[in-house]
Every structure is written in structure tokens, then in C-alpha cells.
Amino acid sequence: GQQLNQSPQSMFIQEGEDVSMNCTSSSIFNTWLWYKQDPGEGPVLLIALYKAGELTSNGRLTAQFGITRKDSFLNISASIPSDVGIYFCAVRNDYKLSFGAGTTVTVRA
């Protein structure tokens, strides 16, 4: 399948911090998606991006669709403990989703 490079692989957050993660591809895609997966649950769609350059927010989450259509980033502002989990970027080509390997977010002790 399509390889998406997602970074960082993992990160530690402290409550109140802003955090950022990104995803790149060697190919152009017209739909970029961000999902969150909690332990023992399926991925939940957070934000969908359909237009190059588009900046979309969902509460404290903001995601941008790169102008080259080969990348996207996700920002979480003022992080809270329930933000922990695995964040996946994905691209959709027709009906097919291809996922990155995920960014694991945990709370810094």
C-alpha cells in the first residue's frame, strides 16, 4: 500500500502544552484524514481535509492539508490528559484508505 511517513513516532505531553505531528507522502492525494485510536477501540475520525492549503479545526485540534498535496499536520492546543492515544494520518484514494504507522501520545510523568 501507499507509504505515509508519520512523525514523530511517539511523544510525551504535559497538560496545557501545544503539540504537533505531521505526515508526508511521496505521492499526491486529494483527501487527507486524521484519526485517533484509544486502547481497545477502533479509530475515530477527527478531521477530514479535501482541499490543498485547507486549514480545519475541530475544538482544540487543527489540521492543515499541505499545498503540495503531499503532506499534512495536526496540532493539539492546550493538551489535556484525555488526548493520550494513537493518532493516525490517512489518505483516501477513491474508497481506499492508507494509514501511517501512527504517533503515540502519552502523558509525561
Partner 1 sequence: EAGVVQSPRYKIIEKKQPVAFWCNPISGHNTLYWYLQNLGQGPELLIRYENEEAVDDSQLPKDRFSAERLKGVDSTLKIQPAELGDSAVYLCASSPDSTYEQYFGPGTRLTVT
Q: Which residue from 16, 42, 59, 81 is in contact with partner 1, where contact means CB under 8 A?
A: 42
Q: Are 35 and 87 in contact (CB under 8 A)?
A: yes
Q: Write out the three cell numbers for 84.
A: 493520550
Specify the residue, 94 or 108, whose C-beta has the smaller distance to partner 1.
94
Cα–Cα separations (whole angstroms), residue 48 to 57, 68, 91, 106: 10, 17, 10, 24
Q: Which residue from 29, 32, 65, 99 is in contact with partner 1, where contact means CB under 8 A?
A: 99
Q: Give the binding site for partner 1 (CB under 8 A).
A: 1, 33, 35, 40-45, 48, 88, 90, 92, 94-102
